[in-house]
């Protein structure tokens, strides 16, 4: 028995597995894993650094930046990031790793003569008519919250031949107006308005903006915590800038307000954002419409409700399990209201009556 054991110890079984592959030690597994992660980290350094940069504010982001900053510098100095840049260029996505914090907003109208009477707001534009031959171009954009209502809107719009087909939803997860480094909506909106010239724009922003951390602040500007007067002033400037970028290019904007959420504290923060958006929309009549969604999704007690009885008496699930996002029924409800707003501004249906 003892001899058997000794023999086994002296002659370990062959370290070969199925297909003739060599088996390795656990130590080798650890070393290869660690080595692979290190090599991968240096080769992917620009992307990893950007991922660290766009994290939510906090100690995790600070630590991640402290690690990935030098990693990115070393990778760049040793040209280890070149293969990634080359691959991105081949894929046509050279901008992926750029950290863009520029907030480009339209310039404010020049101030009038001091002491002069304030100018009355310009009259609302006329109600333009669209037909199957002269179709309305629609663009839907925003954070992840816009996706479900956007899908419902596209479904509803498909029934109206006065609205151009083929629109897609520009929904970017985790984005908003606070963090152009996550996704630069200011650039994107300008680009779309210039190139595609949509006449109707439906947006939903703010779902990820309920924090006191903004990037792209003007030089010398510092902001306080979420909801402070400096935060409100800067956020208002961005909201107003988005509205003006769209309306000056001839687009009618429907801004969908943030809904009530399961978390009461989050709902209060959303209220702050909604107040800013609705007040900015109010001073742009005929050009911007604010759609208040708060009470669409409140229960009988006025609080958050995941299930709501619809007009036909059916109990339907309105909200996703996370207590924030929408289900299809909610999207359909919002889409109906958005179409009604568009119909107020544009004539989309009279062509049918002929």
Partner 1 sequence: MLFPTATFALFFMAVLPLSWLLMPRGHRWRPFIVVASFVFYSAWDWRFVFLLAASIAWNHVFAVAIHRRTRPAARKRLLLAAIAGNVALLGYFKYYGFAVTSTNNLFAFVGVDVPLEVRSIVLPVGISFFTFMGISYLVDVFRGDFEPTSLSKFAAYLSFFPHLVAGPIVRPGELIPQLDTPRDPRYVDTSRAFFLIGTGLFMKVVIANHLAASIVDPVFGAPDQHSSLEVLVGIYAYSVQIYADFFGYTNIAIGLALLLGFQFPQNFDAPYTAVSIQDFWRRWHMTLSRWLRDYVYIPLGGNRGGRLLTYRNLMLTMLIGGLWHGAGWTFVAWGAIHGTALVAERWWRERPGFVEHPWTPRRRAWHRFATFQVVCFAWIFFRSDSFADAWDIIVRLFTAWGETSPLVTVGVLAAIAVGIGSQYLPSRIPLRIMAWFSRLPVPAQAAVLGVALLATHAMGPEGVAPFIYFQF
Q: Contacts with partner 1 in 184-243 (CB under 8 A)?
A: none
Minimum Å gap between C-beta 90 and partner 1 is 10
How crowded is residue 105: how many other Cβ atoms within 10 Å of its Cβ? 16
Among 7-15, 191-199, 225-233, 282-290, the segment contacting partner 1 (CB under 8 A):
7-15
- Contacts with partner 1 in 13-32 (CB under 8 A)? 13, 15, 17-32
CA 98 vs CA 80, 173, 255: distances in Å? 17, 17, 29
Minimum Å gap between C-beta 212 and partner 1 is 23
Minimum Å gap between C-beta 179 and partner 1 is 13
Select 116 or 159, whichever has its Cβ closest to partner 1.
Answer: 159
- Contacts with partner 1 in 253-292 (CB under 8 A)? 262
Minimum Å gap between C-beta 109 and partner 1 is 37
- Contacts with partner 1 in 299-328 (CB under 8 A)? 304-307, 313-317, 319, 321-323, 327-328
Judged by DSSP in three states, 87 sits in helix
Select 83 or 124, whichever has its Cβ closest to partner 1.
Answer: 83
DSSP string, 227-293: TSHHHHHHHHHHHHHHHHHHHHTT-EEEEEPPPP-SSHHHHHHHHHHHHHHHHHHHTSTTTEEEE--
Asked if residues 102 and 187 have their Cβ atoms less than 8 Å apart, the reply is yes
Q: Is 35 in the site for partner 1 (CB under 8 A)?
A: yes
Select 22 or 133, whichever has its Cβ closest to partner 1.
Answer: 22
Show the site string, 74-103: x = touches partner 1 by CB under 8 A, - = not: ---------xx--xx--x----x-------
Show the site string, 37-76: x = touches partner 1 by CB under 8 A, - = not: xxxx-xxx--xx--x------------x------------
Select 112 or 196, whichever has its Cβ closest to partner 1.
Answer: 196
Count of positions on this chain that bind partner 1 (CB under 8 A)? 71
- Contacts with partner 1 in 118-177 (CB under 8 A)? 147, 150-151, 154-155, 157-159, 165-169, 173-174
Minimum Å gap between C-beta 220 and partner 1 is 31
Minimum Å gap between C-beta 234 and partner 1 is 26
Select 232 or 316, whichever has its Cβ closest to partner 1.
Answer: 316
d(CA 199, CA 339): 13
Asked if residues 15 and 22 have their Cβ atoms less than 8 Å apart, the reply is yes
The tokens for 328 are 């299809």
Select 133 or 314, whichever has its Cβ closest to partner 1.
Answer: 314
Contacts 24+ apart (CB under 8 A), 275-279: 276/232, 276/235, 276/236, 276/239, 277/206, 277/239
How crowded is residue 336: how many other Cβ atoms within 10 Å of its Cβ? 12
* Residue 150, burial from CB neighbour count under 10 angstroms (0-12, 13-18, 19+): buried
């Amino acid at each position: 028995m003892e001899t058997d054991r000794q023999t086994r110890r002296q002659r370990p079984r062959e370290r070969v597995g199925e297909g003739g592959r060599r088996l390795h030690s656990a130590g080798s597994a650890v070393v290869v894993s660690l080595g692979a992660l290190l090599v991968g980290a240096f080769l992917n350094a620009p992307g990893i650094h950007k991922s660290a940069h766009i994290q939510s504010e906090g100690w995790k982001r600070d630590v991640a930046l402290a690690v990935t900053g030098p990693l990115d510098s070393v990778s760049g100095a040793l040209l280890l990031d070149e293969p990634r840049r080359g691959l991105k260029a081949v894929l046509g996505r050279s901008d992926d790793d750029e950290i863009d914090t520029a907030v480009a907003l339209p310039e404010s109208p020049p101030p009038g003569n001091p002491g002069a009477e304030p100018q009355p707001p310009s009259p609302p534009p006329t109600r333009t008519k669209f037909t199957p031959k002269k179709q309305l171009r629609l663009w839907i954009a925003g954070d992840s919250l816009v996706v479900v209502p956007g899908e419902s809107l596209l479904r509803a719009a498909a029934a109206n031949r006065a609205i151009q087909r083929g629109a897609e939803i520009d929904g970017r997860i985790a984005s908003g107006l606070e963090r152009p480094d996550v996704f630069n909506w200011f650039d994107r909106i300008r680009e779309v308005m210039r190139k595609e010239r949509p006449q109707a724009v439906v947006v939903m922003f703010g779902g990820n903006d309920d924090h006191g951390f903004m990037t792209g602040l003007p030089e010398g500007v510092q902001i306080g915590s979420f909801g402070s007067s400096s935060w409100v002033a800067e956020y208002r400037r961005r909201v107003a800038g988005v509205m003006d970028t769209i309306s000056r290019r001839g687009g009618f904007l429907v801004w969908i307000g943030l809904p009530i959420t399961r978390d009461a504290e989050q709902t209060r923060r959303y209220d702050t954002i909604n107040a800013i958006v609705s007040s900015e929309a109010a001073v742009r009549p005929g050009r911007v419409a604010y759609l208040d969604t708060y009470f669409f999704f409140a229960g009988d007690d006025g609080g958050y409700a995941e299930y709501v009885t619809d007009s036909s008496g059916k109990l339907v699930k309105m909200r996703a399990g996370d207590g924030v996002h929408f289900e299809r029924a909610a999207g359909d409800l919002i889409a109906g209201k958005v179409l009604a707003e568009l119909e107020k501004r544009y004539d989309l249906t009279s062509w049918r009556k002929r």
